[in-house]
Chains A and B, each alone.
Chain A
Amino acid sequence: MKIGLIGNPNVGKSLIFSHLTGIGVEVSNYPGTTVDILSGVSCINRLPVEITDLPGIYSLDGESDEERLVRDLVTSRSFDVLVMVLDAAHLERNLYLFLQVLEHQVPMIAVLNMADEAEEQGISINTQAFSDICGVPVLLTAATIGKNLPEIIPLALEKAAIGHFQVSYDRHIEAAIRTLGRLSGADRISVLLALQGIGTDVLLLEGAATIAKEIEEEHQMPVSRILAGNRHHAATELSKQVITRAPVKESRGPDRWLLRPFPGVLIMAGVLISLLLCVFMVGSFFEELIVEGFDLFIIEPLKAAGFDPLVYELLFSFFIAIQAGLGIAFPFVFTFYLLMSVVEDTGYMSRIAFLADRIMHRFGLHGQAIIPMVLGLGCNVPAVMAIRQIGTKRERYIAAFLITMVPCSARTVIIAGIVAVFVGIYAALSIYLIIFVLILLTGIFLSRVTTGSQLGMVLEVPPLRIPSPGMVLTRAWIHIREFLVIAMPLLIVSSVILGLLGFYGILDVIELYTAPVMEGLLGLPTFASTSLLFGILRKEMAFETLVVLAGTANLTEVMTTLQLYIFALVSTLFVPCISTIAVLYREQGLKTAVLISIYTVLLGLVAGILINYVFRVM
């Protein structure tokens, strides 16, 4: 028995899902997409029921990855029963998707969630009337307080029905449905999809294309828009029949402050800065614990075990990679995403997108692109993956460049560990300033030279809500999973390779050849090139390697403050880490990945050389 949860974004679908399935949730990427699908198993009357949480969508006719995926799953009858979750407080808009799902003639039930919110707004819904009109069972729930949730599965198993409500479309569309139905034997929904160019039946598509062209000429409007209009009107009619509204005083709550230029922008800056500070404080505390624990229980025994030097080098590189990965993954990245998930689940993220839209336009991007950029502060890997969500190829290209320059938590460790400690807090802040100015300039430059079209943002701003702890954890886990799956294996492989390079003395050769650049232009000691090389592995390792090679944790003994400053700046800008390059390659192609790597190397070197010369001369 398979049940699919379908609905608009932000209707509490995921919360219902986690209530129904409990622990043991499986996250899977659908082949060919980066859309995450959650599925879990629940036992009812000793029968296993597989429940799948489909991504939130606004329409079944759209062209986005999510919409296409859900449509494919629904048309291929992948589920025995669909549970359509609707937001009772915004029922009219939700009915649009509901009417589309009804057309697919799959057994379903309607769950009107957020009943508590609707009640507060003076909205009461006649579920009996609703059920009578549509022909499917209707259940009123409130996921946040757990109301009626246990009844969902039994209702879906026993009472799910194929709805009988039909949207009456424009007469030309109805005529097309009859004609094409007669010609090819296709049902109503296949014809509707075919009229919009969706489907696999070549004959039907051909016929539909001819008719669609005529209809479009007649109406001066694409078929999809005619259908949307008809559905919305049907939804309005339907909602009028089932909703009664008691007059309540309208209030916009905190949005009155959050979405004004003043003080909204200040609040946004405050939220982001305190978020980063929090991540850094919590992160460095746990990082120390993990790294020390690792040293004590694995590295030390390894050193004492007395292996053959080559075996030792391999094992050492392997464990050091795991130590590094865990040391950065859980304390920094996981904390970051935990807090980020809170921000996402409250609905504040879309408010940030709104506030940032104007400034992002200067980079040839739009508000939605701020979301991956902010995610990039945690780790660039999931951030680059999140680029898929934004608009056109041009926008993705620009965003990829900018995101790889965003100082992730590993780079924050370098800046804090070297500059803040040995040079001073203002110097550390100045590095951030330099990076952000460079991001700005790069953005402005790219938006001038990159060809392609720009689409703006259309983003729903959901009501502010209190996030549920379970949901926050799941979301944070999904993000960290990407880091672990992609970054960790690469980290281990490249650590072993670098270990071997060191073992066979190749690193010394590299040091010899890069010495002119290091010493002459950047004014850094020669061993800095090795630590920069390790920095490609994982940014923070540039710092650790430097300490190892310098032979002392008190870096001021071997390097001047200027050298430390330049080292931090160069290694922060210099090439994204290997995992980011890999994910860039996967998401944006080889050319972009190479271009970005070269650009950042040059940027890092030029910035370092400039600073070196300016300060030497002064």
Chain B
Amino acid sequence: MSTVSSTINRFINNYLTRMDTAEREDTLLSLMRLFERTKESSCSSDLANQAGIPVQNMEQFLYLLIESGDVEKDENGRYFLTNKGLHAAKTVMRRHHVLETFLQEMLGMDHEKAHEQACTMEHHTSDDTINRLRQFLRKGRDCPGSCQVHHRHHTCTTLADCRQGEHVTITAIKGCGRALRLADLGLIPGQEVQVLERMADTMLIRVKDCDIAISPEIARTVLVGVDQ
């Protein structure tokens, strides 16, 4: 009888405290982000909020992370990342960045979807793949901006982000859909553009003295730099 119950107990313990790669890395990321925001060690309930999981699970995860030496607990019962943990979190962050950039820039996904996808892919992509992707992206073009993981920043400014009246210069055009028509109308890298009107996200721009109306999905494929 007792052997049976202890087996069950062990099973439950194992089951409850099991942590897969995704959960481990997400917990590390939560710790890092919370620390960046508050500049102090975090309590488990804040962390659970940040990650969107029950406090109970978070505490179990943290326990396991302390065991593996990624996290330490200070005298106030608050948690902080060790150097090892910080390094691991930064690696995940970098993977996310590369994946999101690739999905958004090269495959033309919109920011939100790219972000969502990158959030799941970041845990299962090997470092070799990430390095190769990074090389590929670099060869393609140099992106002026930088994406801060989990912050609502676009990797690059596109025409769709421009305000009314703004003067910008085209830096690159993504994809190949209607790119040729854009090129025929004078939208080529290096060309100055003025945003005349915005109707929701539909843009009216002036290129070479001519006014052109552009749908949002096309405006999002035109990367621009703001004129000084």
Binding site for B on A (CB under 8 A): 58-59, 61-63, 89-90, 92-93, 96, 220, 222, 224-225, 228-229, 232, 252, 255, 259-261, 264, 350, 353-355, 357-358, 361, 366-367, 453-463
Contact = CB atoms under 8 A, between A and B. Distances in A.
Given A357-B202, A458-B218, A58 B178 contact: no
Interface string B192-210: 0000110111101001111
Given A259-B204, A357-B202, A358-B202, A461 B213 contact: yes
A98 B204 CA distance: 25
Contacts of A350: 213
B208 A90 contact: yes
5 contacts: A89-B209, A96-B184, A225-B188, A367-B202, A460-B211
Nearest 8 Cβ contacts at the A-B interface: A456-B215, A228-B183, A456-B218, A357-B202, A59-B184, A354-B213, A358-B200, A58-B184
B214 interface: yes
B8 interface: no
Contact of A456 (B184, B197, B217): B217
A228 B184 contact: yes
B130 to A, nearest CB: 21
Contacts of B56: none
B179 A225 contact: yes
Interface in B170-197: 173, 176-186, 188-191, 196-197
Contacts of A456: 178, 214-219
Contact of A461 (B139, B204, B208, B215): B204
B180 A61 contact: yes
Contacts of A355: 199
Nearest to A60: B184
B225 to A, nearest CB: 17
A220 B139 contact: yes
B52 interface: no
Contacts of A224: 180, 183
B45 to A, nearest CB: 40
A264 B189 CA distance: 32
A31 B181 CA distance: 25
B53 interface: no
B204 A354 contact: yes
B183 A460 contact: no
A528 to B, nearest CB: 44
Given A59-B180, A222-B179, A229-B190, 4 more contacts: A93-B210, A220-B141, A255-B211, A259-B197
Interface in B109-144: 139-141
B212 A461 contact: yes
A222 B184 contact: no
Contacts of B212: 458-461
Contacts of B173: 225
The B interface, classified by DSSP as helix, strand, loop or mixed, is mixed
A355 B215 CA distance: 11
A204 to B, nearest CB: 21
B142 to A, nearest CB: 11
A367 B197 contact: no
A361 B211 contact: no
B213 A367 contact: yes
A62 B199 contact: no
Contacts of B199: 259, 261, 264, 354-355, 357-358
Contacts of B200: 261, 357-358
A89 B208 CA distance: 11
A228 B189 CA distance: 11
A215 to B, nearest CB: 15
A229 B181 contact: no
A62 B181 CA distance: 8
A435 to B, nearest CB: 25
B177 to A, nearest CB: 6
B197 A90 contact: no
Contact of B217 (A58, A90, A454): A454
Most chain A CB within 10 A, of B139, B183, B196, is at B183
A461 B188 CA distance: 19
A461 B140 CA distance: 33
Most chain B CB within 10 A, of A220, A261, A366, is at A366
B202 A58 contact: no
B204 A96 contact: no
Given A455-B177, A456-B214, A459-B213, A220 B188 contact: no
Contacts of B176: 222
A93 B179 contact: no
A535 to B, nearest CB: 37
Contacts of A357: 199-200, 202, 213, 215
A545 B184 CA distance: 54
A366 B219 CA distance: 13
B216 to A, nearest CB: 7
A280 to B, nearest CB: 30
B221 to A, nearest CB: 9
Given A90-B209, A93-B208, A458 B197 contact: no
Contacts of B186: 92-93, 96, 232
A454 B221 CA distance: 14
A463 B212 CA distance: 11
Contacts of B197: 259-260, 354
A366 B210 contact: no
B138 to A, nearest CB: 11
A258 to B, nearest CB: 10
B140 A220 contact: yes
Contact of B178 (A89, A458, A462): A458
Contacts of A62: 180-181, 184
A58 B181 contact: yes
Contact of B214 (A59, A261, A457, A462): A457
Contacts of B211: 255, 460-463
Contacts of B219: 456
Contacts of A59: 180, 184
B117 to A, nearest CB: 19
Contacts of A252: 196
B171 to A, nearest CB: 13
A354 B211 CA distance: 11
B196 A232 contact: no
Most chain A CB within 10 A, of B199, B212, B216, is at B199
A229 B191 CA distance: 10
A228 B178 CA distance: 13
Contacts of A260: 197
Contacts of B140: 220
B89 to A, nearest CB: 33
Nearest to B220: A456
